């Protein structure tokens, strides 16, 4: 068996079987050696898993408001009832101390009532009757008593989805226009590239802000606004790749055997530039997430009750002295994900392009 | 060279024209007019208002009218603020924005190049690792996170700087520290990384080896040969850097309550104050386009390989 196999495989000068290594496999090997990139990959997979599994994870609804639980600090050990009681007691004590007296009858009665409510009050959430004050908020709550953990997870879901879908849309537009410009050349190329140049020169974030402010804040508009301005670099990269490939022998062969222009572009040229495009897309995703977060931060992106990391950070800026957890959890989640994506993107670029031929 | 500059300069006008046209028509295409409000006005009053601002004319005529008034340097009346026109609000706020932007840009360039140089010359020492880690953080964290986090620690907890305000206020110059750090951090990080990478690349090239072999002093090699070449990528990054500062200033001015144009821009966008939006966008674009023009000229001047015909 073994003999037969080695007879089939080509052998190198040291008489070892010379197995062909595909470009992707080669890149994967180099990527595995890059510890930062692997750490980034693990982080990214972790975030994506959490976002995808959000509906089945044991977390609260991100829209559920419990008015008694406004601004509860994050806590691992205490449940909402204890925190609520402690806070009310603290407020009463502070007031009493200011007026230099002990707690009066009214206040003690109010405390007793809160104790009773904490022990017995129930509410119907998701069709189930639950004891409200036994909820636990690992990340604290916001100004409407909503669970920050759920909001950070669902916000991440939206941010990550926008990052991926937006990148795919803009990359598709860029691929098609870049490939057409690169392959056809001449007038078509000139027109497409002039459009790219003009849009490059625009303060496009300003135009996106105007667009969002005027046409209303919803996800569709956000996608349109961001996709329209972000295909430019992809188009340039793809055009360059196609131009360098279009005079090679395999394209000549395809053309001489009668393949149509569309077929040559999409079946022969594009697959050969795929590596570059994938790497480039990975590098684009964090930019896209940042753009969306930037708009949401200004109040021009996602609208309530939906949340994204950007809008969570934006809302947290007011009152962050008193309720810093509202700022730190979404900010930390976003930062971690961006770190992961950046390390992964850099690693992929180095892996696919070890000589640094295509530093964008 | 002069020919190149003139040609590039003439090329600026179509870009500015395109920007004005796009913004004008985006705004005119919006559903609802600028004077739609909760309570419906009597028809006659509505018509009179529209007549006053020439909104009853065909769009093309409005466009022509607007372009003519821009050529005269008049950005028109504000639709929301009745007491002053757009020129007044922009003239009032733009010095603050320009000042903040310019300082941030200078700090990013000076510190970025210094950090990149030190890192490259002391490659793989602790100082290299330190500055490159700071640079990675600067590239990754968006400035609307950096800003609030800096405010929380350095203004609220440590009380070193005021949380917001402007130099003319009662805290004076200390108000500048946090906004400038926030606005320059991203660019500082990019420039530091670029400088380090390009210095390292040039140090390995043949002409540096020749210079060494001739026995030139290290300082001469560094400043006359390495730095001059290493600055090219940095200069070409300055265009995107200006544009980042421009957009970033919108957020920074919101966080730190700087009375600059960015704040006006966001407010007018949310208020649908059409003429004020158009005015601020035009001013922003002109600044950006001129900055890109200057960067291109400097680049062409520095790079002997570019022939300007």
Tokens encoding B230: 């290493």
DSSP character for B308? -
- What DSSP element (H or E) covers A129? strand A128-131
CA angle B71, B75, B77 (to 5 degrees): 140
Residues in chain A: 360
CA distance B197 to B186: 17
Each residue of A55-88: b (16+ CB within 10 Å) or e? eeeebbebebebebbbbbbbbeeebbbbbbbebe
- What DSSP element (H or E) covers A6? helix A2-8
| Closest Cβ–Cβ partner in B145, B269, B292 for A210 | B269
Cβ contacts of residue A81 below 8 Å, gap of 6+?
Answer: A118, A119, A133, A134
Confidence of residue B107 (pLDDT cuts 50, 70, 90): very high
CA-wise closest residue to A344 among A279, A253, A300, A289: A279
Tokens encoding B167: 């130099």
Give residue for tokens 């009853």.
B56
Query: A98-151, pLDDT tens digit by residue?
Result: 888 777 888 888 888 888 877 777 777 666 777 777 777 878 777 777 888 888
Q: Helix-strand-coil percent breakdown of chain A, rounded to 5? A: 70, 5, 25
Query: CA of A13: how far to CAs of A3, A8, A9, A16, B36, in Å?
Result: 18, 16, 13, 7, 82
Going from the N-terminus, what domains does chain A have, and what CATH number goes with each? 75-134 (no CATH), 148-351 (1.10.3720.10)
Entry pTM: 0.82
Q: Say whether residue A347 is in contact with chain B using an 8 A CB cutoff.
A: no
pLDDT for position A357? 44
CA distance A206 to A204: 5
Backbone angles phi, psi at A123, to 5 degrees: -145, 155
CA distance B217 to B206: 17
Query: Hey, which residues does A124 pair with through a beta bridge?
Result: A129
Q: pLDDT above 70 covers what percent of chain B? A: 95
CA distance A312 to A297: 8
Which one has a higher pLDDT value, B112 or A322?
B112
Given its phi and psi angles, is residue A15 left (phi above 0), alpha (psi -120 to 50 degrees) or beta? left
pLDDT for position A8? 57
Give residue for tokens 């309570």.
B39
List, in sequence order, every beta strand (DSSP E) within A285-334. Answer: none
A54-68, A304-318, B111-125, B199-213: segment of lowest average pLDDT: A54-68
Tokens encoding B59: 């769009």
Backbone angles phi, psi at B35, to 5 degrees: -105, 10
CA angle B216, B221, B225 (to 5 degrees): 130
Each residue's pLDDT tens digit in chain A (360 positions)? 444 444 555 666 777 666 666 667 777 888 888 888 899 999 999 999 988 888 887 777 777 777 777 777 888 777 777 877 888 888 888 888 888 877 788 888 888 888 887 777 777 766 677 777 777 787 877 777 788 888 888 888 888 988 888 888 888 888 888 888 888 888 888 888 888 877 777 777 787 888 887 777 777 888 888 877 788 888 888 888 888 888 888 888 888 888 888 888 888 887 777 777 887 888 888 888 888 888 888 888 777 778 888 888 888 888 787 888 888 898 999 999 999 998 888 888 888 766 554 443
CA distance B35 to A330: 38
Contact assignment for B22 to A209 by CB distance below 8 Å: no
Contact assignment for A298 to B22 by CB distance below 8 Å: no
Q: Could you report the predicted ipTM of this complex, rounded to two decimals?
A: 0.80
Q: Say whether residue A285 is in contact with chain B using an 8 A CB cutoff.
A: no
For an interface test with B, give the residue of A43, A195, A202, A357 to mutate (most B CBs within 10 A). Answer: A202
Q: Say whether residue B232 is in contact with chain A using an 8 A CB cutoff.
A: no
CA distance B278 to B261: 12
Query: B165-179, pLDDT tens digit by residue?
Result: 777 777 778 788 889
DSSP character for B31? S
Contact assignment for B148 to A313 by CB distance below 8 Å: yes
First to last CA, chain B: 8
Average pLDDT taken over every residue of chain B: 83
DSSP character for B152? I
Rg (alpha carbons) of chain B, rounded to whole number: 24
| Residue A128 exposure: Cα atoms within 13 Å on the Cβ side | 6
CA-wise closest residue to B26 among A229, A203, A217, A211: A211
Cis amide prior to A305 (ω within 30 degrees): yes
A308–chain B nearest CA distance, Å: 14
CA distance B230 to B212: 17
- What DSSP element (H or E) covers A122? strand A122-125
User: Which chain B residue has the Cα nearest residue A334?
Assistant: B141
User: Which chain A residue has the Cα nearest residue B243?
Assistant: A203
In chain B, where does DSSP find H-type helix?
Answer: 2-28, 43-52, 59-71, 86-121, 126-140, 143-150, 177-203, 206-213, 218-220, 227-255, 261-271, 274-302
Contact B26/A211 with Cβ under 8 angstroms?
yes
| Closest Cβ–Cβ partner in A201, A215, A293 for B30 | A215
- Asked whether the predicted pLDDT for residue B34 surpasses 70, the reply is no
Query: Hey, which residues does A128 pair with through a beta bridge?
Result: A125
CA distance A92 to A104: 10
Chain B residues whose CB is inside 8 A of the A37 CB are: none
Contact B80/B274 with Cβ under 8 angstroms?
no
Contact assignment for B19 to A211 by CB distance below 8 Å: no
Contact A73/A325 with Cβ under 8 angstroms?
yes
CA-wise closest residue to A217 among B138, B270, B163: B270
Q: Say whether residue A73 is in contact with chain B using an 8 A CB cutoff.
A: no
Which one has a higher pLDDT value, B40 or B158?
B158
| Closest Cβ–Cβ partner in A205, A206, A331 for B149 | A331
For an interface test with A, give the residue of B36, B148, B257 to mutate (most A CBs within 10 A). Answer: B148
**Residue A317 exposed, middle or buried by CB count within 10 Å (0-12, 13-18, 19+):** middle
pLDDT for position A10? 65
CA distance A14 to B45: 94
pLDDT for position A31? 83
Cβ contacts of residue B153 below 8 Å, gap of 6+?
Answer: none
State the average pLDDT over residues B84-111. Answer: 89
pLDDT for position B72? 85
pLDDT for position B204? 83
| Closest Cβ–Cβ partner in B30, B141, B285 for A335 | B141
CA distance A50 to A106: 47
Q: What is the CATH number of domain B95-302?
A: 1.10.3720.10
Which one has a higher pLDDT value, B6 or B272?
B6
């Amino acid at each position: 068996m073994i003999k037969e196999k080695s007879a089939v495989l080509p052998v190198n000068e040291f008489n070892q079987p010379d197995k062909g290594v595909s470009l992707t496999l080669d890149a994967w090997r180099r990527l595995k050696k890059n510890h930062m990139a692997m750490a980034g990959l693990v982080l990214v997979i972790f975030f994506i898993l959490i976002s995808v599994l959000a509906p089945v994870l044991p977390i609260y609804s991100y829209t559920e408001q419990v008015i008694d639980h406004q601004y509860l600090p994050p806590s691992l050990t205490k449940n909402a009832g204890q925190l609520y009681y402690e806070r009310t007691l603290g407020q009463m004590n502070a007031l009493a101390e200011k007026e230099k007296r002990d707690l009066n009858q009214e206040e003690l009665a109010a405390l007793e009532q809160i104790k009773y409510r904490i022990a017995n009050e129930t509410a119907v959430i998701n069709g189930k009757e639950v004891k409200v004050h036994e909820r636990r908020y690992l990340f604290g709550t916001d100004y409407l008593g909503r669970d920050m953990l759920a909001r950070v997870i669902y916000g991440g879901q939206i941010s990550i989805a926008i990052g991926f879908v937006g990148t795919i849309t803009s990359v598709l537009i860029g691929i098609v226009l870049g490939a057409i410009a690169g392959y056809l050349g001449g007038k078509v190329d000139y027109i497409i590239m002039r459009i790219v140049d003009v849009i490059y020169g625009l303060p496009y974030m300003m135009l996106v802000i105007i667009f969002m402010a005027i046409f209303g804040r919803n996800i569709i508009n956000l996608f349109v606004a961001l996709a329209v301005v972000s295909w430019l670099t992809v188009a340039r990269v793809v055009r360059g790749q196609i131009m360098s490939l279009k005079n090679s022998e395999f394209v000549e062969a395809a053309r001489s055997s009668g393949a149509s222009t569309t077929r040559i572009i999409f079946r022969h040229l594009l697959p050969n530039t795929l590596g570059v495009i994938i790497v480039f897309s990975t590098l684009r995703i964090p930019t896209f997430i940042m753009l969306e977060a930037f708009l949401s931060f200004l109040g021009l992106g996602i609208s309530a009750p939906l949340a994204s990391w950007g809008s969570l950070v934006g809302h947290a800026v007011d009152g962050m002295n008193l309720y810093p957890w509202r700022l730190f959890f979404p900010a930390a989640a976003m930062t971690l994900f961006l770190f992961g994506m950046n390390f992964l993107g850099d690693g992929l670029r180095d892996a696919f392009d070890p000589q640094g031929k295509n530093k964008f | 060279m002069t020919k190149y500059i003139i040609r590039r300069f003439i090329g600026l006008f179509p870009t500015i024209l395109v920007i004005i046209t796009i913004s004008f028509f985006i705004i005119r295409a919006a559903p609802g007019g600028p004077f739609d409000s909760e309570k419906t006005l009597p028809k006659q009053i509505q018509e009179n208002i529209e007549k006053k601002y020439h909104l009853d004319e065909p769009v093309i005529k409005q466009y022509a009218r607007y372009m003519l008034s821009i050529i005269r340097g008049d950005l028109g009346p504000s639709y929301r603020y009745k007491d002053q026109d757009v020129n007044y609000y922009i003239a009032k706020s733009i010095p603050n924005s320009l000042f903040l932007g310019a300082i941030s840009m200078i700090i990013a360039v000076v510190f970025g190049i210094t950090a990149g140089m030190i890192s490259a010359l002391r490659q793989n020492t602790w100082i290299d690792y330190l500055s490159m880690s700071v640079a990675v953080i600067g590239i990754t964290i968006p400035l609307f996170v950096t800003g609030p986090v800096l405010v929380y620690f350095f203004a609220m907890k440590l009380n070193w700087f005021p949380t917001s305000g402007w130099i003319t206020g009662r805290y004076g110059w200390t108000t500048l520290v946090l906004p400038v750090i926030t606005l320059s951090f991203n660019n500082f990080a990019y420039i530091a990384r670029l400088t380090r990478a390009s210095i390292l690349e040039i140090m390995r090239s043949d002409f540096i080896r020749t210079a060494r072999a001739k026995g030139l002093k290290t300082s001469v090699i560094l400043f006359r040969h390495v730095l001059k070449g290493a600055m090219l990528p940095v200069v070409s990054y300055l265009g995107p850097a200006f544009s980042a500062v421009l957009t970033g200033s919108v957020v920074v001015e919101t966080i730190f309550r700087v009375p600059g144009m960015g704040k006006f821009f966001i407010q007018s966008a949310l208020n649908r104050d059409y003429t004020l939006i158009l005015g601020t966008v035009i001013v922003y674009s002109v600044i950006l386009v001129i900055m890109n023009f200057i960067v291109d000229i400097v680049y062409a001047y520095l790079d002997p390989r570019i022939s300007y015909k």
